[in-house]
């Protein structure tokens, strides 16, 4: 028989505009439930019941608010509005409900708007500089070309919530419509002062081309995958690249899902202006004192600064050591027939420190063979002569810097193209137009923790 899943008497809890929709939804899905029930048991019945419980009980659909903190003032600058449902079992997230595409769009929109209306009612008491981050699915937003959403916001602008306090968090990775139509809508929203945030960066960065088109005000970077200190360096490099991208397009970085202090430190180090996550404050049904973490964030920021200063000072000392060592070496070995002879002699001095050395001119053309450490032996790799490396990031910039400052430079940490290992390169001016490059071994970097 058909499971006891559909109760038409509960429909009276809805407003009149949605009654007919719910009736239609119930009739259609009652047959689906019966069919799925006969095949798969009670799991589908429960899913249907959960959705129907929510649709017919909007009174218990409520907003939760997760504070967002700033790096510059160490205070709450805004709240992300999150949907919750007050069930018999307790407070449940509405995330699965909104993501369930088997639920008709109009019901998800109705619940979404219910959350927003209740949230904005509460937000009327907030200070006038507090931002409100509102999540919207691109497909649902475009059902009526975003008109209902805008009109709702305009109603609350009349009550005192200016639209320049609204940050629209748009999710469009699975958007099925025309990108141009969405772009036009978002551009239209911006004429009202509404800000745009692109979310879930960091766990899916395959749509970077869209960032340039949308020119968001805020990039939300998800640190969920950075829950372990053993996370692959390449992942951290990707997040760093996103921070560089944000700076290039003039977007503010917001790091979310911060659950541990080292994630907060990573966000701080990589240019994050805004922070959000359970480590800072969990979502709740009420607002918090905007200075609730002011002392905590100030103290942790001081710790981050102290650690970074010590690391930079250590890097400076190592750079100076290399400069002194090479200067003394070149003073002793002024005469040599070819650069390869110089590199072989230097190899004895750099054993255990370097694994590759070569000489380039100021335009990036390699003037020597590679001296490469293989199987504990230094070997010459002639194939690299006349290869050009000017395409590498910062190559020409570093050449000009060495030429003017007359001293060497230690590079950032990066992954070597050929070995795949994390390396740093020390570059040193041999003359005004020829420069020595020394690739340092990972074992040397590991022995000097500040280099990693």
Q: Do 253 and 354 belong together in one domain?
A: no
> Hey, which residues does 414 pair with through a beta bridge?
423
Give Cα separations from 294 to 77, 289, 297, 428 (angstroms): 12, 10, 5, 45
In 3D space, the residue among 270, 246, 248, 249 whose CA is nearest the CA of residue 258 turns out to be 270
Q: Give the rounded distance of the alpha carbon of 56 from its chain centre.
A: 37
Q: Do 248 and 374 belong together in one domain?
A: no
Q: Do 324 and 415 belong together in one domain?
A: yes
Residue 261: left if φ>0, alpha if ψ -120 to 50, beta else—which one? alpha
> Which domain CATH number covers 182?
3.20.20.450
The pTM for the full model equals 0.83
Q: Do 442 and 391 belong together in one domain?
A: yes
The residue to which tokens 């907003």 are assigned: 63
Q: Do 288 and 421 belong together in one domain?
A: no
Q: Is the distance from CB of 372 to CB of 355 less than 8 angstroms?
A: yes
Rounded to whole angstroms, the Cα distance separating 202 from 270 reads: 13
Per-residue pLDDT tens digits of the chain, which is 452 residues long: 334 433 333 333 444 444 444 444 443 454 344 334 433 344 344 455 578 889 999 999 999 999 999 999 999 999 999 999 999 899 999 999 999 989 999 999 999 999 999 999 999 999 999 999 999 999 999 999 999 999 999 999 999 999 999 999 987 667 888 888 999 999 999 999 999 998 866 555 556 777 878 889 999 998 887 876 556 666 777 777 888 888 888 999 999 999 999 999 999 998 999 999 999 999 999 999 999 999 999 999 999 999 999 999 999 999 999 999 999 999 999 889 999 999 999 999 999 999 999 999 999 999 999 999 999 999 999 999 999 999 998 899 999 999 999 999 999 998 899 998 889 999 999 998 999 999 999 999 999 988 88
312 is a domain residue: no
Q: Do 321 and 285 belong together in one domain?
A: no
Q: Is the distance from CB of 344 to CB of 371 less than 8 angstroms?
A: yes
> Which of 257, 292, 327 corresponds to the end of one domain?
292
Domain interval for residue 369: 317-451
Q: Is the distance from CB of 354 to CB of 373 less than 8 angstroms?
A: yes
310 is a domain residue: no
pLDDT recorded at residue 238:
78
Q: Do 61 and 149 belong together in one domain?
A: yes
Q: What is the pLDDT of residues 216-229, one digit of tens each?
A: 999 999 888 787 65
What stretches of 197-232 show up as alpha helix (H) in DSSP?
Answer: 208-214
What stretches of 222-293 show up as alpha helix (H) in DSSP?
Answer: 233-249, 261-269
Rounded to whole angstroms, the Cα distance separating 329 from 315 reads: 21
194 is a domain residue: yes
pLDDT recorded at residue 35:
37
Q: Do 414 and 438 belong together in one domain?
A: yes
> Which of 54, 73, 94 corresponds to the end of one domain?
54
Q: Do 145 and 288 belong together in one domain?
A: yes
pLDDT recorded at residue 279:
97
173 is a domain residue: yes
Q: Do 126 and 265 belong together in one domain?
A: yes
Q: Do 224 and 322 belong together in one domain?
A: no
Q: Do 399 and 332 belong together in one domain?
A: yes
State the DSSP H helix or E strand holding residue 219, giving kind and residue range, or none if neither. Answer: strand 218-222
Q: Is the distance from CB of 80 to CB of 65 less than 8 angstroms?
A: yes
Total domains in the fold of the chain: 3
> Which domain CATH number covers 404?
3.30.450.20
395 is a domain residue: yes
304 is a domain residue: no
């Amino acid at each position: 028989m058909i499971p006891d899943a559909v109760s038409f008497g509960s429909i009276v809890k809805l407003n009149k505009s949605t009654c007919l929709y719910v009736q239609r939804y119930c009739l259609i899905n009652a047959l689906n439930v019966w069919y799925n029930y006969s095949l798969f048991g009670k799991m589908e019945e429960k899913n249907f019941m959960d959705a129907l419980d929510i649709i017919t009980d909007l009174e218990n659909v409520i907003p939760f608010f997760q504070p967002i903190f700033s790096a510059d003032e160490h205070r709450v600058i805004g709240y992300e509005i999150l949907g919750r449902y007050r069930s018999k079992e307790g407070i449940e997230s509405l995330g699965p409900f909104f993501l369930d595409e088997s639920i008709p769009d109009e019901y998800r929109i109705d619940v979404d708007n219910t959350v927003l209306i209740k949230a904005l009612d509460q937000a009327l008491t907030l200070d006038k500089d507090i931002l409100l981050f509102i999540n919207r699915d691109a497909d649902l937003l475009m059902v009526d070309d975003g008109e209902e959403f805008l009109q709702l916001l305009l109603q609350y602008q009349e009550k005192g919530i200016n639209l320049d306090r609204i940050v629209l968090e748009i999710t469009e990775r699975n958007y099925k419509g025309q990108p141009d139509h969405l772009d036009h809508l978002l551009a239209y929203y911006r004429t009202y002062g509404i800000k745009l945030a692109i979310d879930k960066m960091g766990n899916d960065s395959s749509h970077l081309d869209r960032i340039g088109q949308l020119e968001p005000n805020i990039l939300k970077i998800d640190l969920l995958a950075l829950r372990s200190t053993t996370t692959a360096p390449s992942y951290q490099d990707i997040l760093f690249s996103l921070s560089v991208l944000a700076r290039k397009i003039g977007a503010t970085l917001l790091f979310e899902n911060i659950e541990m202090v080292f994630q907060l430190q990573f966000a701080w180090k990589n240019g994050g202006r805004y922070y959000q996550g359970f480590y800072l404050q969990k979502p709740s049904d009420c607002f918090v004192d905007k200075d609730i973490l002011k002392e905590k964030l100030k103290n942790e920021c001081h710790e981050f600064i102290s650690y970074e200063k010590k690391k930079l000072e250590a890097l400076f000392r190592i750079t100076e050591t290399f400069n002194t060592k090479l200067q003394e070496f070149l003073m002793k070995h002024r005469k040599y027939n070819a650069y390869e002879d110089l590199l072989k002699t230097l190899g004895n001095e750099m054993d255990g420190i370097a694994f590759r050395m070569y000489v380039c001119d100021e335009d990036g053309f390699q003037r020597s063979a590679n001296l490469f450490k293989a199987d504990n032996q230094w070997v010459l790799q002639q194939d690299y002569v006349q290869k050009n490396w000017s395409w590498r990031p910062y190559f020409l910039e570093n050449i000009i810097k060495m030429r003017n400052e007359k001293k060497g430079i230690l590079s950032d940490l990066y992954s070597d193209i050929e070995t795949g290992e994390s390396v740093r390169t020390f570059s040193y001016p041999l003359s005004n137009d020829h420069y020595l490059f020394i690739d340092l071994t990972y074992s040397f970097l590991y022995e000097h923790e500040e280099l990693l």
